[in-house]
A = this chain, B = another copy of it.
Amino acid sequence: MASSIKDVATRAGISIATVSRAVNTPERVSAETLARVQAAMDALQYRPNALGRQLRAMHTGLLGVVLPSLANPVFAECMQGIEDAASVTGQRVMLMTTAYDLEREARAIETLLEQRVDGLVLTVADAAANPHLDRLDAEHVPYVLVYNDTVGQPRIPARCCVTVDNRAAARDAIRALLAQGHKQIRMLTGTLSASDRAALRHDGYREALEAAGIAPQPPVEIDFNADVMLPAELARLLAPPRPTAIFCSNDRLALLTIRSLREMGLRVPEDVSVIGFDGLAMGQWLMPTLATVAQPHRQIGEGAAQALARRIAGEVVPSITLPHRLLHGGTLARAPAAPASLSVVPSSLTSDTQGASR
Residues B281 and A259 in contact, CB atoms below 8 Å apart: no
Identify which of A47, A73, A79 gathers the most chain B CB atoms within 10 Å of its CB: A73
Residues A92 and B71 in contact, CB atoms below 8 Å apart: no
Copies of this subunit: 2
Q: Tell me the residues in window 53-88 of chain A with beta carbons closer than 8 Å to chain B beta carbons.
A: 54-55, 60, 69-71, 73, 76-77, 79-80, 83-84, 87
- Assign chain A's interface to a size class: 35 or more
Complex Cα gap A77–B96 (Å): 14
User: Which residues of B sit under 8 angstroms from A55, Cβ to Cβ?
Assistant: 49, 51-52, 55
A20 within 8 A of B: no
User: Which residues of B sit under 8 angstroms from A115, Cβ to Cβ?
Assistant: 50-51, 92
User: Which residues of B sit under 8 angstroms from A73, Cβ to Cβ?
Assistant: 73, 76, 282
Flag the segment in A106-114, A178-186, A233-241 that touches B.
Answer: A106-114
In the complex, what residue of chain B is closest to A79 when comparing beta carbons?
A: B70
> With A113-B47, A114-B48 known to touch, is A255 a contact of B282 (CB < 8 Å)?
yes
Complex Cα gap A286–B227 (Å): 11
Interface residues as binary, A85-121 with B (CB distance below 8 Å gives 1, 0 otherwise): 0010000111111000000000000110111100000
Residue in B45, B54, B79, B110 whose CB lies within 8 Å of A139: B45
Residue in B45, B114, B284 whose CB lies within 8 Å of A50: B114
Complex Cα gap A83–B69 (Å): 10
A159 within 8 A of B: no
> With A80-B69, A113-B47 known to touch, is A252 a contact of B285 (CB < 8 Å)?
yes
Complex Cα gap A310–B131 (Å): 37
Interface residues as binary, A221-265 with B (CB distance below 8 Å gives 1, 0 otherwise): 000000100000000000000000000000010011011001100
Q: List 13 A-B contacts (CB under 8 A).
A: A49-B114, A50-B116, A51-B55, A51-B115, A70-B70, A70-B77, A71-B281, A73-B282, A80-B97, A83-B96, A95-B95, A227-B284, A263-B287
